[in-house]
Amino acid sequence: MAGKALNKNNLVALGAETLADLLLESVKGDAARQRRVRMALAANQGPETVAADVRKRFASIRRARSFISRKTQKTLAKELANHTQLIEARIAPHAPDLAFDLLWAQLHLANDILDRTDDSQGVIANVMQEAMAAVTRLSSSLTRDPVALADDIFEAVSTDSYGVFDTTVEALAEALGGSGLARLETLAERAREAPLSDADLLLFDYITDPQQREDRARNARDRASEMLLLDIADLRGDVDAWLSHYAPEELTHDAIAPEASARLLDAGRAEEALALIEQALPNGDLWHDKADLDDAHFACLEALGRQEDLRSALWARFERRLCPRALRQYLKRLPDFDDIEAAEQARQHVLTFAPIEVALGYCLDAPDLSLASELILARHPEIDGETFTCLAPLAEALRAEFPLPAVLLWRAMIDDTLTEARTARYRHAARQLTACETEDAQISDYRGHPPHGAYLRDLQKAHARKSGFWGRLS
């Protein structure tokens, strides 16, 4: 039977003619596979032939107007990814400028495609990122006029509705050079000062209110110009130019301060970076208590050699947010043997931390399953079964070594699902109940909790009429 196995050696042994017949039969009626085969045939006929076929396909995609379903979206994404690979492998080594033109054309398909599909899972966006990565690899080989390239980049960024071209300046930095960056800077500054054009307004023609349309168009244009100018400042290493695009109060915003302080640090201006980040740190406001703010703070203290302040900041981060990484960094910076006492202090802090779901999340991330087990057994009535995104993976991690805590987590989720009649989660609850039954044999002492049989009877009594759940078990 070995000769009948579907592997490469056995298929090669069939011979070219037989394989060709089989291939023709397999692609019959499948347009996507037929296109892939045609591309493979064209790949051996030189860059121009491949390019002609790719352009023809891109034109077909541009002409399409129908909604793209999830299934069709995946097929299209795979096809576009194949195009990227084909262009980079077959065209770029021989004709880099031609390869760039094709990748650029593919990136320009994004607006239309994303207008016609739900890309909430990022399927198309990821493919476009791969195309931009290929552009980055091509940058040093391009011979295009830098000024003309700057014009193309400005036009692309200005009409980009989905952020596909957000990283273009960095991607093409080598090809742009000094003259290209200067041209791009001029275009961005002019655009920021110029009145709105018909092209600017046309991007928002779906907005009926003239004033709203004008406001949206102006915001989009200004955002694009500012992004270009910030990217140019970064490439030049001009931190002051980058900072000048923000008002002083904006620089202390939690979304901007980490970036600003990182640039100041890179420029050797650690004191300024620390002063800025200290203004951005929240004073007990957990809503604005962001990990990247603390990371920036740590980096500033590290750069200034302020080790005692750094240890205090790391411990504060752990105490406040139960951050495993902050605790590890804190313990590493303690003198010998002090870390043992500190680790025990941290353990006790986790055991009493509220809400318990955050503490359990820490145990999962750390990971520390022994601590999770102790926490669950001590405070199981506090566990909110609705927080299944943390409880479900933790239960799976616990089941081999700590079956009772795992069962208690499953029960918390089951009880929440049935009590609140969360019908969409019945199938998960059914699997969790089956897992409880499986682990029952491994638990000799339920420590005062009902054994599985008793728990099941209580469940049946309390939720007898939820046939949608019980039917999942049959």
Distance CA 78, CA 32 (A): 10
Q: Higher confidence at residue 336 or residue 134?
A: 134
Give me the pLDDT at residue 27, please: 66
Q: What is the pLDDT of residues 333-354, one digit of tens each?
A: 998 889 999 999 999 999 999 9
**Tokens read off for 94:** 């021989």
Give me the pLDDT at residue 13, please: 76
CA angle 118, 122, 128 (to 5 degrees): 110
Give me the pLDDT at residue 6, please: 73
Residue 1: pLDDT band with limits 50, 70, 90: very low
Residue 200: pLDDT band with limits 50, 70, 90: confident
Distance CA 275, CA 154 (A): 35
Q: Do the Cβ atoms of 143 and 97 come closer than 8 Å?
A: yes
The whole-chain average pLDDT of the chain stands at 91
What residues contact 265, with CB distance under 8 A and at least 6 apart? Answer: 273, 299, 300, 303
**Tokens read off for 113:** 């495609």
Give me the pLDDT at residue 267, please: 94
Which residue do the tokens 């809400």 mark?
Answer: 355
pLDDT at 413 over 80: yes
**Tokens read off for 161:** 């509705």
Give me the pLDDT at residue 98, please: 96
Q: What is the mean pLDDT of residues 7-23?
A: 75
pLDDT at 78 over 60: yes
Q: What is the mean pLDDT of residues 290-297?
A: 90
Q: What is the mean pLDDT of residues 147-159?
A: 95
pLDDT at 202 over 90: no
Q: What is the pLDDT of residues 135-145, one digit of tens each?
A: 999 999 999 99
pLDDT > 70: what percent of the chain?
94
Give me the pLDDT at residue 30, please: 67
Distance CA 42, CA 48 (A): 9
Q: Is 454 helix (H, G, I), strand (E, B) or coil?
A: helix
Domain boundaries, the chain: 12-143, 147-157+170-238, 370-473
Tell me the angle at which helices 210-236 and 146-158 cross, rounded to the nearest 10 degrees. Answer: 140
Give me the pLDDT at residue 15, please: 78
Side-chain-side CA neighbours of 174 within 13 Å: the count stands at: 10
pLDDT at 130 over 70: yes
What residues contact 161, with CB distance under 8 A and at least 6 apart? Answer: 111, 114, 115, 203
Residue type, 360: L
Distance CA 60, CA 298 (A): 52
Give me the pLDDT at residue 288, please: 57
Q: What is the pLDDT of residues 376-404, one digit of tens each?
A: 999 999 999 999 999 999 999 999 999 99
Q: What is the pLDDT of residues 237-270, one digit of tens each?
A: 999 999 999 999 999 998 999 999 999 999 999 9
Closest CA to 108 of 132, 76, 88: 132
